[in-house]
A and B are shown apart, each in its own frame.
Chain A
């Protein structure tokens, strides 16, 4: 954080903590970081709980069809008998929660909210993971190249990252989604929307990791082991991906874990603004957006997707924090 070009915001806003983790990662190199980290993580009960919830959520999303068949109703099936026809609101209190509909029914149609939350989790997690992959891939490649080669390569990549960070991302994403066609590359409507969400969220996310990796690569490239590899006549690709990359695994891992909850929030925000997948395909942000009009009469329908987002993001954050602390000897 000492050169002007870098001060334009390392991980600005998003996940600043990843920074200190990155800064610290170099200190544990060569000391079997995996083993040490795992030992530390095992002792962090809160992080483990977060991790367990994360795994449960992933399983719930994968097995959503099974779970809805067991405990719910088909995701798009309307239940007009659960709806007051004059108000379009669920009959009964708390959004129509009863033994048959565990989380109540949605307004207008009376679809099972339990099922819709589960299917919403699929979209949410899918987008978050894929977008994180996109960010990490681009960010690592760009970051290593910028850091290792320096010179004009660094200038160009750094400039691109600056410009991307200067974009009003949310505005731009909504606008971009709004001009996308309904079918593209053989994908259906939901497929196109997921693709666009992944690309938009992933693409705007890479500069954050790009900066971190660049900084690391910058300091690593002068290290003895890199010099050694160079003097042995190793190719550029070998040095970049066989020598440098393994030393960057820790910060990348921490960052990837911490970018996922951010992506979940981003996906929900875009859906909330009408730029996510479209009904009848359910998503959490979309449910909250629908709830805006009726939260005074049917608060349950607002609270359920809100809590779903909260629990998921919290679980990822707890786990991510734990992971970071585990890789950070000072953090405990």
Chain B
């Protein structure tokens, strides 16, 4: 028994060397190996096209997860999977189209009858609602409910945890504290949003922002009927405006959605609503979940975080199984921030030295190898418009350039190296591994790195507090970031716009405050043409890379398994995950 195992492992290692390396580089559909075995769609088939297109209704979609939802309340959720899941029960004015790959980034009118009317100065957005829209209880969805839903987010002491972009955009100095303390009799006291009638809603911004529609596509801008709002406990029973409603909510155990008969398919631009019910089962046993997936008794990993190591090894050695997997970008870049405010990184040559000395292959291995992410040279992930292969430091070559690194050290005036500290979340094994790998790599040029593991719960008050970063001498910070909405500013602005630096909860760890970069964001915000905006983001990205503020480790990927019985499987770039709402089951069970 033991012997078989080890022989198999050796054989596996040999096969893998051949197969996996072939798909390390770019996303790009099938890599050609053994597609079509047992009618399976093939490795990476769902990355940019629809696998098993079908309109067959019925059955139960069995989603499994080893992580519980953070909240089902659309105003309080921040997990990408919950945002994706919300498409079953929370409609928004605009929503991401149900299409594979980049096509999924497009916003289509959902509750709105058409794209908004935008005033000439770009500050006023007027939406008309479709008629006959109903909640699960049959009551009508009005523009006031959308306004109320947005207002809830302002009550951050009650509706905490979700995105707060709308507050920044719509408060405009009013100091609005949410509907629960609102003195307005209708609890609709937020001034920047007007609802002249039940089917019209008008947003007035302080300055133009071409990304504003994306903020309205988040669940935190979905309608909530005031009568049925239960405040902090709304997540126990969110009122559905979509094709499914909650039958049961059992935190830590599972959730079940059943058809919402009051949802009108004719009013919906893309939702398929194929299965009769959707079950999300929470387990603490990731191995068990993976064996269920491979056995076909579970349909999909809801968290979309990739198979566990054991299952991954099994899948990669078996082409029939591998054909049911996708290894897609999930929109995250893992990186190390280099902090210029901490000496000697105030000198760009010292920052350059780190970039040249970094052993990117070792860093990639520390995160789980090529399956878990591709080497990447810049700071705009592949699923966002404006992303390119820019790599002036040759990071994607996978080898450190020690000569250059030593030369940079000399120019920095530190030919004999220096000491610094890398901050890393102690509860993230992959990040700790990355920090240790970086420590080892930098030793080669005599940079002596201390690894400081801080409590991962305290991001906002440790690495998110510039004062703390300075006082603790964190020259390097290991982190990762995924966009909250898929545009260049959605991804980059919190990381590199100097005006986003805060004393607590900061994400611009490098404290980049370059007027040229800030100006480019403003230009992009005023730019109505996404292609032109994308070009501006590309410029921002290049400037950030040239400034040597970041050492990108990998563009994250996750190897996910899809049950062959699933229909309409595709990965949408909007979430970097399979689009849950489109799924059906071919056997009707």
Contacts and interface: CB of A to CB of B under 8 A. Distances in A.
Given A80-B362, A94-B6, A293-B309, A86 B437 contact: no
Main secondary structure of the interface of B (DSSP, over half): helix
Given A78-B440, A91-B13, 20 more contacts: A76-B436, A76-B440, A78-B362, A78-B437, A84-B16, A85-B365, A85-B370, A86-B16, A86-B21, A86-B370, A87-B13, A87-B309, A89-B13, A93-B6, A108-B433, A109-B366, A182-B453, A279-B432, A280-B439, A294-B309
Interface residues of B, number: 42
B9 A278 contact: no
Given A182-B454, A279-B436, A297-B313, A86 B362 contact: no
Interface in A71-123: 76-78, 80, 83-89, 91-94, 108-109
9 contacts: A83-B365, A87-B369, A88-B309, A88-B368, A92-B10, A109-B433, A189-B453, A293-B310, A299-B2
Contacts of B366: 108-109
B433 A189 contact: no
Nearest to B436: A280
A178 B427 CA distance: 11
A91 B11 CA distance: 11
A109 B434 CA distance: 10
Interface string B334-346: 0000000000000
A32 interface: no
Interface residues of A, number: 30
B312 interface: yes
Interface in B9-37: 9-10, 12-13, 16-17, 20-21
Contact of B308 (A109, A290, A293): A293
Interface of A: 76-78, 80, 83-89, 91-94, 108-109, 178, 182, 189, 274, 278-280, 290, 293-294, 296-297, 299
A127 to B, nearest CB: 19
Interface of B: 2, 5-7, 9-10, 12-13, 16-17, 20-21, 287, 308-310, 312-313, 316, 361-362, 364-366, 368-371, 426-427, 429, 432-433, 436-437, 439-440, 451-455
B450 to A, nearest CB: 8
Contacts of A80: 361-362, 365
Nearest to A92: B10
A75 to B, nearest CB: 12
CB-CB nearest 10 A-B residue pairs = A93-B6, A86-B20, A296-B310, A86-B16, A86-B369, A84-B13, A280-B436, A297-B313, A294-B309, A88-B369
**Most chain A beta carbons < 10 A, residue from B5, B313, B426:** B313
B369 A85 contact: yes
Contact of B310 (A85, A92, A279, A294): A294
A294 B287 CA distance: 10
A89 B449 CA distance: 26
A278 B369 contact: no
Contacts of B455: 178
A107 B308 CA distance: 14
Given A91-B13, A109-B436, A280 B362 contact: no
Nearest to A278: B453
Nearest to A292: B287
A109 B437 contact: yes
Contacts of B365: 80, 83, 85, 88, 108-109
A85 B5 CA distance: 20
A84 B313 CA distance: 11
Contact of A297 (B309, B369, B437): B309
